[in-house]
Chains A and B, each alone.
Chain A
Amino acid sequence: MAGRLLVSTRKGLFCLGPSGRGRWQVERVCFLGDNVTLTLPDPRDGLWYAALDHGHFGAKLHRSPDRGATWEEVGVPAYPEPPAGYEEKDPMGRVIPWQLQRFWALEPGLADQEGLLWAGTIPGGLFRSPDRGATWDLVRSLWEHPDRRRWLAGGADYPGIHSICVDPRDGRRVTLAVSSGGVWRSEDGGGTWACHGQGMRAAYVPPGRETDMRIQDVHRLVQCPTHPETLWAQHHNGIYHSADGGAVWRLLVPSDAFEPRDSLTGFGFPVAVHPQDPDTAWFVPGDKDERRVPLDAKVVVLRTRDGGRSFETLRRGLPQEQAYDLVLRHALDADADGRGLAFGSTTGSLWVSEDGGDAWTTVAEHLPPVYAVRWA
Chain B
Amino acid sequence: MARVVFTANLQRHVPCPPCQVPGRTAREALEAAFACYPRLRGYVLDEHGILRRHMVVFVNGRPSGDREGLGDPVGDEDEVAVMQALSGG
Q: Give the B-binding residues of A (Cβ under 8 A).
A: 54-58, 60, 73, 76, 78-79, 81, 98-100
Cβ contact within 8 Å between A57 and B39: no
B84 contacts across to A, CB distance below 8 A: 56
Cβ contact within 8 Å between A57 and B48: no
Cβ contact within 8 Å between B47 and A57: no
Cβ contact within 8 Å between A58 and B52: yes
Residue of B nearest to A78 (CB): B47
Give Cα A76 to B54, complex, Å.
Answer: 19
Residue of A nearest to B39 (CB): A73
Assuming the contacts A73-B39, A76-B42, asked whether A55 and B89 have C-beta atoms less than 8 A apart, the reply is yes
A99 contacts across to B, CB distance below 8 A: 46-48
A81 contacts across to B, CB distance below 8 A: 48
Cβ contact within 8 Å between A56 and B55: yes
Give Cα A58 to B40, complex, Å.
Answer: 11
B9 contacts across to A, CB distance below 8 A: 56
The 5 closest A-B pairs by CB, nearest first: A78-B47, A55-B89, A57-B43, A56-B89, A56-B54
Chain B's nearest CB lies how many Å from the CB of A81? 6
Q: 11 A-B Cβ contacts within 8 A? A: A56-B9, A56-B54, A56-B55, A56-B89, A58-B43, A58-B46, A73-B39, A79-B47, A79-B48, A98-B48, A99-B48
Residue of B nearest to A55 (CB): B89
CB of B10 within 8 Å of the partner chain? yes
CB of B13 within 8 Å of the partner chain? yes
| Most chain A beta-carbon neighbours within 10 Å: one of B10, B42, B44, B54 | B42
Interface string of B68-81 (1 = CB under 8 A from A): 00000000000000
Residue of A nearest to B56 (CB): A56
Contact check: which of B39, B43, B46, B48 meets A54 at CB < 8 Å? B43
